[in-house]
Amino acid sequence: MDISGKTKICGLIGNPVEHSFSPFIHNTMSEKLGIDMVYGTFCVKDDLEAAVKGGYELGIQGFNVTVPHKQNVINALAKVDDIAGMIGAVNTLVRVDGGYKGYNTDIIGFVRELDDAGIDICANTFFIIGAGGAARAIAYILAYSKAKDIYMYNRTKEKALDIQEHIYSNLGVKIHVVDTPYVEGLTDYVAVQTTSVGLSPKVDEMPVTDERFYDAAKCGVDIIYNPFETAFMKQFAKQGKPSYNGLAMLLYQAVAAYELWNGCEVDSVVVKETYDLLRKKLGL
Ligand code: ATR
Mean pLDDT over 100-129 rounds to: 97
Q: Which atom of ligand 1 is nearest to the CA of 194?
A: 4
pLDDT of residue 65: 98
CB 81 within 8 A of CB 31: no
Classify 168 as helix, strand or coil: helix
- CA angle centred on 63, ends 60 and 66, rounded to 5°: 150
> What kind and span of H or E run contains 191?
strand 189-193
Chain segment 198-230, per-residue pLDDT in tens: 999 999 999 999 999 999 999 999 999 999 999
Which distant-in-sequence residues (6+ apart) come within 8 Å of 207 by Cβ? 129, 130, 155, 193, 195, 197, 198, 232
Which distant-in-sequence residues (6+ apart) come within 8 Å of 97 by Cβ? 78
pLDDT of residue 91: 98
Short-list 29, 55, 59, 57, CA closest to 41: 55
Mean pLDDT over 97-115 rounds to: 96
Of all residues in the chain, what percent carry a pLDDT higher than 90? Answer: 99
Indicate if ligand 1 lies below 6 Å from the C-beta of 195.
yes
The pTM for the full model equals 0.95
Judged against a pLDDT cut of 90, whether residue 2 lies above it is answered with no
Chain segment 127-147, per-residue pLDDT in tens: 999 999 999 999 999 999 999
Q: Rounded to the nearest whole angstrom, what is the distance from the C-alpha of residue 134 to the centroid of ligand 1?
A: 9
Chain segment 8-42, per-residue pLDDT in tens: 999 999 999 999 999 999 999 999 999 999 999 99
Q: Is 45 designated active site?
A: no
Indicate if ligand 1 lies below 6 Å from the C-beta of 281.
no
Q: Rounded to the nearest whole angstrom, what is the distance from the C-alpha of residue 244 to the centroid of ligand 1?
A: 20
Of all residues in the chain, what percent carry a pLDDT higher than 70? Answer: 100
- The band of 6, judged by pLDDT with boundaries at 50, 70 and 90, is very high
Indicate if ligand 1 lies below 6 Å from the C-beta of 132.
yes
181: cis peptide before it, omega within 30°? no
Indicate if ligand 1 lies below 6 Å from the C-beta of 130.
yes
